Amino acid sequence: MAFDRRLAMNFDWGTLALSLAIVSLSIVLLYSATSERLEGPSGMHLKQLVWAVIGLVSMFAVLCVDYQTLCRHAYVLYGALLVSLVIVLLFGRVVNGSQRWLVLGPWHVQTSELAKPVLILVLARYFTERTPAGTASLTCRDLFLPVLLVGLPFGLIVKQPNLSTAMVLVVFLAIMALMVGLRGTTLITLLLLGVGVLPLAWTLVLKDYQRERLLTLLNPQPDLLGAGYHSWQSKIAIGSGGLWGKGLLAGTQSRLSFLPERHTDFIFAVLAEEVGFVGVVLLLCLFGCLLVHGFIIAYRSLDRLGALVATGVVTTLAVQIFLNIGMTIGLVPIIGLPLPLMSYGGSSLVITFLCLGLLMNVRMRRFKSGMFPS
């Protein structure tokens, strides 16, 4: 089959450049945050570089297949996702009380991350096929299958337990449904159901430590050495950075190990301490440009399927960015969610690049007519 030159002409250099800039900043911070005074660099920055290369390979692999073709096979991918989540619960490796990782030789794969791109494709296909543009807004009956499609992996992921990733899936579904359109009565019904479910979730879903984190968010002072320790140390690190920061390899909160999980969940606090307000503004500008660029891709997509896929990717990234940064500055509870393209972790980084590949896929093929009704 002949190569279509229009694909090269429409290549999304913006998404690639912004994502590489953020990953480059991450590698520098990981080198600084994980270097010990006597032992030297831990090597995490090199591992992150390897994962970034693998992520780029996955990104370009996704670009080779039309997103419409990927959506045709969305339900097959969904079945594979459920199988992988069940396998993790049966045979996965347990770390710190959580059974989230599937061991494949030297690789530890967090299969719950796969739920993000798979559900983006599944929901985009469902809403495109079942609710063509111009039809009436969604009713509760229309939402039954999407809720079921998200509910099955949600339950399996909560069982691990990995409530943070499960929350991202729920918020993603809500935003996708709002984008397609909800009837007023449907929206009110869902809000009432959500309020009614909260007491059950508090008693049946949340574990003791998760309840403590929620209560600590409202009043961290009584337990600064317990449930409130992470949030308190994070805010100290962010506040101590000042305008220009303490400099690389000079952050006391991170290098003296006062700040927990400095290479994963609290990488933003390391940035604020070592590079200061200037570094924070730089990162937020990069994230902001990436999200705005993604929304422009969704707006300019020539078919509804592409618009939903692009919106799904941008929404997933935006939710994770908000929750992670909100967690470090005390706006949301400590939920253990990585910052996309910044936090150390192979599964998260590769899947983020894969999702960005879907976004670039839509951008590159916007000149083609859609196979689904627009």
pLDDT at 205: 64
Lowest mean pLDDT: which of 173-177, 269-273, 298-302, 367-371?
A: 367-371
Convert the pLDDT of each residue in 63-110 to its tens digit: 988 899 999 999 999 999 999 999 988 887 777 667 777 877 777 788
Query: Taking 60 as the threshold, does the pLDDT of residue 371 lie above it?
Result: no
| Contact (CB, 8 A) for 277 and 241 | yes
| Contact (CB, 8 A) for 309 and 368 | no
pLDDT at 93: 79
Transcribe 166-216 into DSSP letters.
Answer: HHHHHHHHHHHHHHH-B-HHHHHHHHHHHHHHHHHIIIIIS-HHHHHHHHH
| Contact (CB, 8 A) for 216 and 228 | yes
Give the separation between CA 246 and CA 244, rounded to whole angstroms.
7
The predicted model gives 186-214 an average pLDDT of 69
Q: Which of residues 18 and 163 earns the better pLDDT score?
A: 18
Convert the pLDDT of each residue in 297-339 to its tens digit: 998 887 888 999 999 999 999 999 999 998 888 788 777 788 9
pLDDT at 373: 41
Q: At 78, is the secondary structure helix, strand, or coil?
A: helix
Convert the pLDDT of each residue in 217-255 to its tens digit: 556 555 555 556 667 778 888 888 888 888 887 777 776
At 25, the pLDDT band (50, 70, 90 cuts) reads very high
